[in-house]
Amino acid sequence: MRALLLIDIQNDFLPGGSLAVPGGEEILPLVNTLQPQYELVVATQDWHPAQHQSFASQHQGSQPFEQIDLHGLPQTLWPDHCVQATPGAEFSADLDQHRIEAIFRKGTTPEIDSYSGFFDNGHRKSTGLADYLRGRGVREVHLCGLAADFCVNFSALDALKEGFDVVFLEDATRAISAEGYAQARQELQRRGAQFAGR
């Protein structure tokens, strides 16, 4: 059984959003075409409290995209994005949502970021996604969405660690940084992810 994971296809990661991923909107037609090819479609949603400590606005004198140490973990500081119950946190109106059976929210704890849809960045708290997928009989996870070098990448890494076969749908994702994605891709390949669509 195969599942399609739609990672963070939210307004703030799309044109006009506060953390727009270059070309992010280009994936939407393909993502919508792909969905009926899967028995199960699941989405993740970045869902931060307004005071989330991954936001540069919460650190005096810091700018977005700076690197800091946050409670012992390396952290990129971001513009405020995907704040709970704001329009930026909503899924794109151009995303077909009718086949999404479950939505896993992440990034809700103010002190720790959560790129992966499975665990926070410290691997302390599970979202329950892996158990949900196993409960549904899923063996193979295909990933698409935003951003290739952050949330799609870390979700794919955790899916591999959880023992799923992983396919990274390259045409249906876009990266914040091309160099960051090139590095992430090598590591994913080394760990056994497959790449489809390029």
Q: 8, 46, 149, 158: which is the annotated catalytic residue?
A: 8
User: Between residue 69 and residue 98, which ones bind ligand VGL under the rule CB under 6 A?
Assistant: 78
- Structure tokens, 100: 């999404």
* E runs forming strands in the chain: 2-7, 40-46, 67-70, 73-76, 100-106, 140-146, 165-174, 194-196
Q: 80, 82, 106, 144: which is the annotated catalytic residue?
A: 106
- Residue in 12, 25, 46, 120 binding Zn ion, rule: CB under 5 A: 46
User: Between residue 125 and residue 154, which ones bind ligand VGL under the rule CB under 6 A?
Assistant: 146-147, 150-151
Taken as a whole, the chain contains a residue count of 198
**Contact indicator for 41, 35 with CB cutoff of 8 Å:** yes
Query: By C-beta, is 122 or 136 nearer to ligand VGL?
Result: 122
Alpha helices in the chain (DSSP H): 28-34, 129-135, 153-161, 178-190
User: Which of helix, strand or coil describes residue 104?
Assistant: strand
Query: By C-beta, is 34 or 152 nearer to ligand VGL?
Result: 152
- Minimum CB–partner distance for residue 48 and Zn ion (Å): 6
- Minimum CB–partner distance for residue 153 and ligand VGL (Å): 8
Nearest CA to 73 among 22, 123, 140, 148?
A: 123
Q: Which residues bind ligand VGL (CB under 6 A)?
A: 8, 13, 46, 78, 115, 146-147, 150-151
**Residues with active-site annotation:** 8, 106, 151
Q: Which residues bind Zn ion (CB under 5 A)?
A: 46, 107
